[in-house]
Copies of this chain bind each other. A is one copy, B any other.
Amino acid sequence: MEKIQFSSWVCPLPLRSYPTVVMGHGSGGKMMQDLIEHMFKPLFQSSVLDQMGDSAVVAIPTNGAGSTRLAFSTDSFVVNPLIFPGGNIGTLAVHGTVNDLAMSGAQPKFLSVGFILEEGLPMDTLGEIASSLAEACRDAGVEVVTGDTKVVNKGHGDGLYINTAGVGVIPSGVDISPQYAQPGDVILLSGTVGDHGMAIMSVRQGLSFETHILSDSAALHSLVACMLAVSPGIHCLRDATRGGLTAALNELALASQVGFEIEEQLVPVNPAVHSACEMLGLDPFYVANEGKLVAVLPAEVADEVLSAMRDHPLGRDAVQIGRVVADHPGVVLTKTSIGAMRVLDLPAGELLPRIC
């Protein structure tokens, strides 16, 4: 691929000078990154937090000698509407946290669930969502062991918000981190992109699509287990949630300080998602997924891992989309369908707010 010069780039917007929180601070983009880099990281001063994995990896001392490595993660869910094609806020709250644990290679074990309920929420709606949440836990083999319920006054929530936190156990021999991508590695993607975000958009007030798009929301830990069974030496895993495929690729390239080069036409997009994105002027590479992962791993195991992924229902459409290079560290380049190169940059703010 030809070289692009980055040295003369300047940021056109003073992103850090917002005096108040705006929707973009909850995106998967630069504004959220700024908030984390310039407020949370300096305040919390944690080497674990600084690693910016999808989940924290911590060592727990055991009664005997040695220690056990746990994955620990949290997500709050504020998706609007609460119920959407292919899932609801309850299933999403399970899949989101289970996937964050799985991206460390952990076997998810225990979940906490915190409900923030709005006064006036129909009890039937709460029942339906809690029931879906419980079913998603059973399907994923995780146990809700602790919880909390708060109620806020009518008009001060959106029906309900859910927070889940999760604890998983990392098998010995598995060592996955966003910082481990190396030049020469290949980049795999587990399937089509943009489905979740466009499923939500398809039912937002004022919009209606002719085609029926389902969210891809799913628990990815069994797919990850199949991949690790073939090759425990996977370097990085990332689920492509807020900010879509673009955010996942940029975060990994930045954390590892390597360049990523992908080929646009290799990335699978469902035709219905493609049409809906065109209609709304959105790029599916930036649209959230809730059941897709990016894996970075040594080239010599790529075929084997890809084949294992394709044997799994959640990895049927898995493909190699690119490779890791030593050039342009922290930058993701993509080769377009007409052969041109462009930078696949993080969005500044929020394309699709309240998507998860």
- Contact, CB under 8 Å: A110 / B58: yes
Question: What separation, in Å, do the CA atoms of A32 and B20 have in the docked complex?
Answer: 35
Residues of B within 8 A of A48 (CB): 110, 143, 145-146
CB neighbors of B among A304-318 (8 A): none
Residues of B within 8 A of A144 (CB): 44, 46, 49
The answer to the question of A66 belonging to the interface, with a C-beta cut-off of 8 Å to chain B, is yes
Instruction: Give min CB distance, A159 to chain B, whole Å.
Output: 9
Give the nearest-CB partner of A32 in chain B: B149
Residues of B within 8 A of A237 (CB): none
The answer to the question of A289 belonging to the interface, with a C-beta cut-off of 8 Å to chain B, is no
Question: What separation, in Å, do the CA atoms of A68 and B74 have in the docked complex?
Answer: 22
Question: What separation, in Å, do the CA atoms of A126 and B122 have in the docked complex?
Answer: 32
CB neighbors of B among A33-73 (8 A): 35-36, 39-40, 43-46, 48-49, 55-56, 58, 60-68, 70, 72-73
The answer to the question of A18 belonging to the interface, with a C-beta cut-off of 8 Å to chain B, is yes
- Chain A: interface secondary structure? mixed
- Contact, CB under 8 Å: B114 / A76: yes
- Contact, CB under 8 Å: B76 / A151: no
Residues of B within 8 A of A115 (CB): 76
- In the complex with contacts A21-B123, A68-B68, A74-B165, A354-B158 CB distance below 8 A: no
Q: Which of A22-30, A185-193, A211-219, A224-232 contacts B (4 or more CB under 8 A)?
A: A22-30
Question: What separation, in Å, do the CA atoms of A74 and B130 have in the docked complex?
Answer: 17
The answer to the question of A131 belonging to the interface, with a C-beta cut-off of 8 Å to chain B, is yes
Residues of B within 8 A of A121 (CB): 20-21
Question: What separation, in Å, do the CA atoms of A144 and B58 have in the docked complex?
Answer: 11
Question: What separation, in Å, do the CA atoms of A67 and B157 have in the docked complex?
Answer: 41
CB neighbors of B among A156-189 (8 A): 156-158, 161, 163, 165, 167, 169, 172
Residues of B within 8 A of A110 (CB): 48, 56, 58, 72
Question: What separation, in Å, do the CA atoms of A153 and B26 have in the docked complex?
Answer: 10
Residues of B within 8 A of A44 (CB): 113, 134, 137, 143-144, 147
Instruction: Count identical subunits in the complex.
Output: 2
Question: What separation, in Å, do the CA atoms of A127 and B38 have in the docked complex?
Answer: 10
Question: What separation, in Å, do the CA atoms of A122 and B21 have in the docked complex?
Answer: 6
Give the nearest-CB partner of A124 in chain B: B19
Residues of B within 8 A of A134 (CB): 43-45
- Contact, CB under 8 Å: B122 / A20: yes
- Contact, CB under 8 Å: B161 / A123: no
Residues of B within 8 A of A58 (CB): 109-110, 145, 167
- Contact, CB under 8 Å: B163 / A114: yes
The answer to the question of A263 belonging to the interface, with a C-beta cut-off of 8 Å to chain B, is no
Give the nearest-CB partner of A96 in chain B: B148
- Contact, CB under 8 Å: A146 / B113: no
The answer to the question of A152 belonging to the interface, with a C-beta cut-off of 8 Å to chain B, is yes
- Contact, CB under 8 Å: B158 / A117: no
Q: Which single member of B40, B45, B73, B78 contacts A152 (CB below 8 Å)?
A: B78
- Contact, CB under 8 Å: B60 / A70: yes
Query: Quick one: CB contact mask for A199-225 with B, threshold 8 Å, 1 for yes?
Result: 000000000000000000000000000
Residues of B within 8 A of A342 (CB): none
The 4 closest A-B pairs by CB, nearest first: A26-B151, A165-B165, A74-B112, A56-B145
